Amino acid sequence: MSRPFAFLGCRLLDPASGLDTTGGLLVRDGRIADLGPHLRADGLGPDIECIDADGLCLAPGLVDMRVRLGEPGSEHKERIDSAVAAAAAGGVTSLAALPDSRPPLDDPAMLEFVARRARKLKSVKVHPCACLTRGGEGRQLAEMGLLREAGAVAFTDGGRAVADARVMLRALAYATTFDLLVVQHPEEPALAAGGAMNEGAVATRLGLPGIPPCAEVILIERDLRLVEATGARYHLGCVSTAAAVEVVRAAKARGLPVSCGVTPHHLLLTEAEVEGYRTYAKVSPPLRTEEDREALIAGLADGTIEVVASDHTPQDQDSKRVPFAQAAFGVVGLETLLAAGLELWHDGRIGLLELLGAMTVRPAALLGIEGGRLALGAAADLLLFDPVARWTVTETGLRSLSKNTAFEGREFRGRAVRTLVDGRTVFAREDAAT
């Protein structure tokens, strides 16, 4: 094993315990051996390497619940190695890979293929999700029991909603047998069909087909009835409307086992980004109005929304440099997940621990994986970051194979300095002093 080491003089942040203090953290054999304000260089043995963190923040590594790896099937857009490199640069130490690849992750062999490829890289931990239905087509249930044994951490058809209520009811009922997490894409397909952006005045002015906000809440309200009937754990991958936040808030008040996530681009951007027919602002669900954005921030701040996830969807130039209506949905987001979230903290909209909790311990708990906390004996999956470092997003600066970021040219405050997985450094910023 590598030599034990300790970060000293850092701001320790652990959302799970509420820890926010200046101190140090000791790593031995890939695990957290000690942490707290009592750790000092003069109290450590000569065998321990001491690293001066110079006041930087040390937190659990980020856990991203929504990532498309590209591989298998779309290696020209992203590969597993490029995706984990981007994740490490963004401070992500664990990610859940969505199954809507081609071929889809709907059988144990495909899950093992992804897991094995990721393990060989010895970098960011990749946890595959499995298709909820065969082929992700929404008609027949996948072999959920076998897929869970193969390592699936959640079941979803990715960016496609399960439209058939009977199929969804069966999926939720079956999921209760193994306490599986079912993740839904909240968009009623018939209402969203052919749409390219949020339905409203901007879409009308641009002459683009719209996706009505009610397409989201209608599907959610239907599914909540099914959750009530089955008691299954149900997660909404990414909500985008004020109406959805209200419905989820009411469901939680009734005690339903419901959770939901939101993306940084929905928290920071609105449909106005589409002006000029910017295809890099074409996402699913679409960017909505300023009122919706404010409701999402409020929902995150009060705990209605538990998770912030990138919904990383790499698309190559050929998929985006086309007329808006024909362009593919999606943006890359692994490298901007932390920085975009920190904008809300800088603006005083959410506390730092609350924000980090939505990117660490809460997604880890939902997925049932280790990670997301600073605790004795826990895996040393760590993120050292500078919360005020200014940097500008550029396509050339991204490690993702595809460059379809919604934040091109935007200046952020806050950036990962060093990322560690099981005590091994998988990313270190070259221009950082530490």
Residues whose CB falls within 8 Å of the CB of residue 192, separated by 6 or more in sequence, listed in order: 211, 212, 215
Tell me how far apart the alpha carbons of residues 406 and 393 are, in angstroms, rounded to a whole number: 10
What is the rounded CA–CA span in Å between residue 322 and residue 63? 33
In terms of Cα–Cα distance, which of 244, 236, 269, 401 is closest to 340?
269
Q: Is 164 a catalytic residue?
A: no
Structure tokens belonging to residue 337: 């997940």
Q: What topology does CATH give the domain 61-367?
A: TIM Barrel (3.20.20)
SS3 293: helix
| Tally of CA atoms within 13 A in the half-sphere of 332 that contains its CB | 32
* Residues pairing with 31 in the sheet: 28, 379
Q: Give the mean pLDDT per block of 10 residues along the chain (434 residues).
A: 90 98 96 95 87 96 97 94 98 97 94 95 97 96 96 96 97 96 97 97 97 98 98 98 98 98 98 97 98 98 98 96 96 98 98 98 97 96 98 95 96 98 95 55
Give me the pLDDT at residue 44, please.
85
User: SS3 for 308?
Assistant: strand
What is the pLDDT at residue 124? 98
Which SS3 state, helix, strand or coil, does residue 14 take?
strand
Cβ(51)–Cβ(7) under 8 Å? Answer: yes
Predicted TM-score (pTM) of this structure: 0.96
In 3D space, the residue among 214, 394, 233 whose CA is nearest the CA of residue 306 turns out to be 233
Q: Domain coordinates of the chain in residue numbers? A: 61-367
* CB-based burial label for 113 (10 Å; 0-12, 13-18, 19+): middle
Half-sphere exposure of 222 (CA within 13 A, CB side): 20
Would strands 125-128 and 92-97 be described as parallel, antiparallel, or unpaired? Answer: parallel
Query: Which of 120, 118, 111, 121 has its CA nearest to residue 142?
Result: 111
Alpha-carbon distances of 144 from 110, 129, 133, 334, 403, rounded to whole Å: 14, 11, 9, 28, 34
Question: Could you tell me the sign of the dihedral formed by the alpha carbons of 143, 149, 151, 153, in that order?
Answer: positive
Tokens of 206: 């641009």
Annotated active-site residue in 106, 311, 381, 386: 311
Between CA 168 and CA 313 the distance in angstroms is: 25
**How big, in percent rounded to 5, are the helix, strand and coil portions of the chain?**
35, 25, 40
Burial of 328 (0-12, 13-18, 19+ CB in 10 A): middle
